[in-house]
Amino acid sequence: QQPVQSPQAVILREGEDAVINCSSSKALYSVHWYRQKHGEAPVFLMILLKGGEQKGHDKISASFNEKKQQSSLYLTASQLSYSGTYFCGTEIIGTSYGKLTFGQGTILTVHP
């Protein structure tokens, strides 16, 4: 039931773009995205609800393809502060709201 994230790791130069994918084998209520820096708590980025919406925040946006149960996180013009591990958390239809099943994480490293 754990969603699969790809790639496992990505290395960028400042200003480059990246896409992180999250794929589930189960039908989903929602997808949540978090970023965790080493030794710190995960920080909420955005939530996408069933309905195929797309959201954006500054230069970070995401989409949710309900038919494919896939979500993608788009980071444009990356900054050094984007470095960290990105997790997607999924709420699976058939279980109750609130129980997030997280992917294994994608390590993003941005170099100057």
Partner 1 sequence: EAGVTQSPTHLIKTRGQQATLRCSPISGHTSVYWYQQALGLGLQFLLWYDEGEERNRGNFPPRFSGRQFPNYSSELNVNALELEDSALYLCASSLGGVTGVSQPQHFGDGTRLSIL
Residues that bind partner 1 (CB under 8 A): 2, 29-30, 32, 34, 40-44, 47, 49, 87, 89, 91, 95-105
Which C-beta is closer to partner 1: that of 2 or that of 79?
A: 2
Q: How far is the CB of 96 from partner 1 (least distance, A)?
A: 5
| Amino acid residing at 103 | G
How far is residue 95's CA from residue 20's CA, in Å, rounded to a whole number? 25
Which C-beta is closer to partner 1: that of 16 or that of 54?
A: 54
What's the token pair of residue 104? 């294994």
How far is residue 87's CA from residue 19's CA, in Å, rounded to a whole number? 13
| Torsion angles phi and psi, residue 52, rounded to 5 | 75, 30
Q: Coil, strand, or helix at residue 81?
A: helix
Q: How far is the CB of 37 from partner 1 (least distance, A)?
A: 12
Q: How far is the CB of 16 from partner 1 (least distance, A)?
A: 25
Q: How far is the CB of 2 from partner 1 (least distance, A)?
A: 8
Which C-beta is closer to partner 1: that of 78 or that of 90?
A: 90
Q: Coil, strand, or helix at residue 82?
A: helix
